[in-house]
């Protein structure tokens, strides 16, 4: 098994810098998800690793070997695109065997390898059927099989689920995770879907404008976002982000959001050391707010229910606190127009410097 190392990777298209100083490592048996919106540089990064784009600067190592000048077919890369590009006129067996035939693999070895790959991917029952009659899940597995049957050192997947219906996508995510863990190959998975990244990634590299904003495990990225962008991009429903100012009043310190204020006196000194000024953005996830009909907590804030999204086991309540829209996730028997009381869990509160957009708490 091999390791992938990317160091200070940059890519210019004319005057446009698509990828800016990107560095990361992917160890064997690990899946790293490159996550970000369209145009953030994630696919360009993947294409440079594959050898389909030439880096402007930086280094790519596979199994401790510098591969910048190595052609794609000699890098030991398995690549699965958004368009699976299998041969519909061939059987599943012939699709899987295609690369082995090009390599002139002996027939007995080829057959054994195809049978082993089909078993791993759950394709044994359709091995001799025509590829044109397959379902999307089977087509995806054939595409992956064509890549892994050649024993690549690194597996690269470029949004392979983006054209799949939501219900099928959920099942295919589970299949992908099982396959990757069983083959144990270092994998880079490009996606714009945060749920996909959270499910499939051992680590997630969140990208914006050609830069990695944060790279960490799914739980860490969700619970401790390093920047305002990561906080906003990760999570469904999105984190509540509220502009505020650090306000000192007598011997107490507040986050003043105009419509309400949060007392943060006990950790104010730590926050003040990290800020560039009084203007901040507080963040709190909808599930880290509690809501009640009566004022149970003296620190609770008055709000009004605007409308409700039912999720079955819970609901998302769209509130208005003064002029501020706030989302709360939970389960409470209220209707649009009802007045409620909202309490912030200060242990789950996030603070970002408004000027730098970097997390300070």
Q: What is the pLDDT of residues 25-40, one digit of tens each?
A: 999 889 999 999 999 9
Band (pLDDT 50/70/90 cuts) for residue 348 is very high
d(CA 319, CA 342) in angstroms, rounded, equals 9
- The closest of 4, 6, 20 to 56, measured between CA atoms, is 20
Would you say residue 4 has pLDDT above 90?
yes
DSSP 293-324: SS--STT-EEEEEEEEEE-SSSEEEEEEETTE
Per residue in 62-101, is it b (16+ CB within 10 Å) or e — as a string? bbeeebeeeeeeebbbbbbeeebebeeebbbbbbbbbebe
240-353 is a CATH 2.40.50.140 domain: yes
Q: Cα torsion at 155, 159, 164, 166 (round to 10°)? A: 110
Query: Mean pLDDT, the chain, as a whole number?
Result: 93
CB 267 within 8 A of CB 361: yes
Tell me the three state secondary structure of residue 290. strand
- Provide CATH 2.40.50.140 ranges for the chain: 240-353
Helices 92-102 and 107-121, axial angle in degrees (round to 10):
130
d(CA 318, CA 307) in angstroms, rounded, equals 5
CB 34 within 8 A of CB 190: yes
Is the bond preceding residue 237 a cis peptide, omega within 30 degrees?
yes
Select 4-233's CATH number: 3.90.79.10, 3.20.20.80, 3.40.50.300, 3.30.1490.20: 3.40.50.300
Give the rounded distance of the alpha carbon of 94 from its chain centre: 34
pLDDT for the residue 180: 84
pTM (predicted TM-score): 0.90
Joined tokens for residue 111: 């057959």
Q: What is the pLDDT of residues 205-235, one digit of tens each?
A: 999 999 999 999 999 999 999 999 999 999 9
- Provide CATH 3.40.50.300 ranges for the chain: 4-233
Would you say residue 160 has pLDDT above 80?
yes
Band (pLDDT 50/70/90 cuts) for residue 1 is low
Is the pLDDT higher at 188 or at 2? Answer: 188
Beta strands in 180-300 (DSSP E): 186-191, 203-208, 211-216, 240-249, 252-256, 261-263, 279-284, 289-292
Band (pLDDT 50/70/90 cuts) for residue 174 is confident
């Amino acid at each position: 098994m091999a390791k992938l190392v990317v160091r200070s990777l940059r890519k210019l298209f004319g005057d446009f810098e698509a990828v800016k100083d990107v560095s990361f490592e992917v160890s064997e048996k690990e899946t790293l998800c490159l996550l970000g919106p369209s145009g953030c540089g994630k696919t360009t990064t993947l294409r440079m690793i594959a050898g389909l784009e030439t880096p402007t600067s930086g280094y790519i190592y596979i199994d401790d070997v510098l591969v910048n000048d190595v052609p794609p077919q000699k890098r030991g890369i398995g690549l699965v695109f958004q368009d699976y590009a299998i041969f519909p006129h061939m059987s599943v067996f012939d699709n899987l065997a295609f690369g082995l035939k090009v390599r002139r693999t002996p027939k007995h070895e080829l057959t054994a390898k195809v049978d082993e790959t089909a078993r791993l991917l759950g394709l044994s029952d359709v091995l001799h059927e025509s590829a044109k009659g397959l379902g999307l899940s089977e087509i995806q597995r054939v595409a992956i099989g064509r890549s892994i049957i050649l024993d690549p050192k690194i597996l690269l997947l470029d949004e392979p689920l983006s054209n799949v219906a939501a219900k099928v996508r959920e099942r295919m995510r589970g299949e992908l995770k099982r396959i990757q863990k069983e083959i144990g190959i270092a994998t880079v998975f490009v996606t714009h879907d945060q749920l996909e990244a959270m499910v499939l990634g051992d680590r997630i590299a969140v990208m914006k404008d050609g830069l990695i904003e944060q790279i960490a495990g799914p739980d860490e990225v969700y619970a401790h976002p390093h920047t305002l962008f990561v906080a906003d991009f990760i999570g469904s429903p999105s984190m509540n982000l509220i502009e505020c100012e650090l306000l000192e009043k007598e011997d107490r310190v507040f986050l003043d959001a105009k419509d309400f204020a949060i007392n943060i006196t006990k950790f104010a000194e730590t926050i003040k050391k990290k800020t560039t000024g009084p203007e901040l953005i507080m963040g709190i996830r909808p599930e880290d707010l509690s809501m009640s009909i009566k004022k149970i907590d003296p620190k609770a804030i008055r709000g009004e229910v605007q409308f409700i999204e039912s999720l079955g086991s819970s609901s998302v309540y769209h509130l208005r606190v003064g002029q501020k829209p706030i989302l709360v996730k939970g389960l409470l028997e209220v209707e649009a127009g009802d007045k409620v009381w909202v309490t912030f869990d200060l242990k789950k509160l996030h603070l970002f410097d408004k000027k730098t957009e970097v997390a300070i708490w």
